Amino acid sequence: MTVCLAALGYFAWHGVYGSRGMERVKAREFEVGRLERKLDALVAERERLEQKVALLRPDGIDPDMLDRQARALLEFAHPNDRVILLDSGDLDRKPAN
């Protein structure tokens, strides 16, 4: 009888805490969920980047995208743009009500 109880206890413990027990299954399900969310974010980022690259290809370059990239890279402004220059001290002051 004692041997049966010991065997039952052994298998019950491994069924809950063993390498393939319930605790491990819960941990794996949590990890799978976390990795799926990470994969979704990476897929969305890849699609966004692919769309941006498609706009910059020579066979179908978007003039607006080219203009925006050139201005950002070269720090130039269009002649019709309004540019407001701020002193470094202006950034520390709060706006008046």
- Give per-residue pLDDT as tens, 3-30: 888 888 888 887 777 777 888 888 899 9
Query: What CA–CA distance (Å, rounded) separates 13 from 10?
Result: 5
CA-based angle 75:79:85, to the nearest 5?
Answer: 55
Residue pointed to by tokens 């969305």: 44
Cα–Cα distance measured from residue 36 to residue 38, given in angstroms and rounded to the nearest whole number: 5
pTM: 0.48
Q: What percent of the chain has pLDDT over 90?
A: 23
- Confidence band for 36, pLDDT divided at 50, 70 and 90: very high
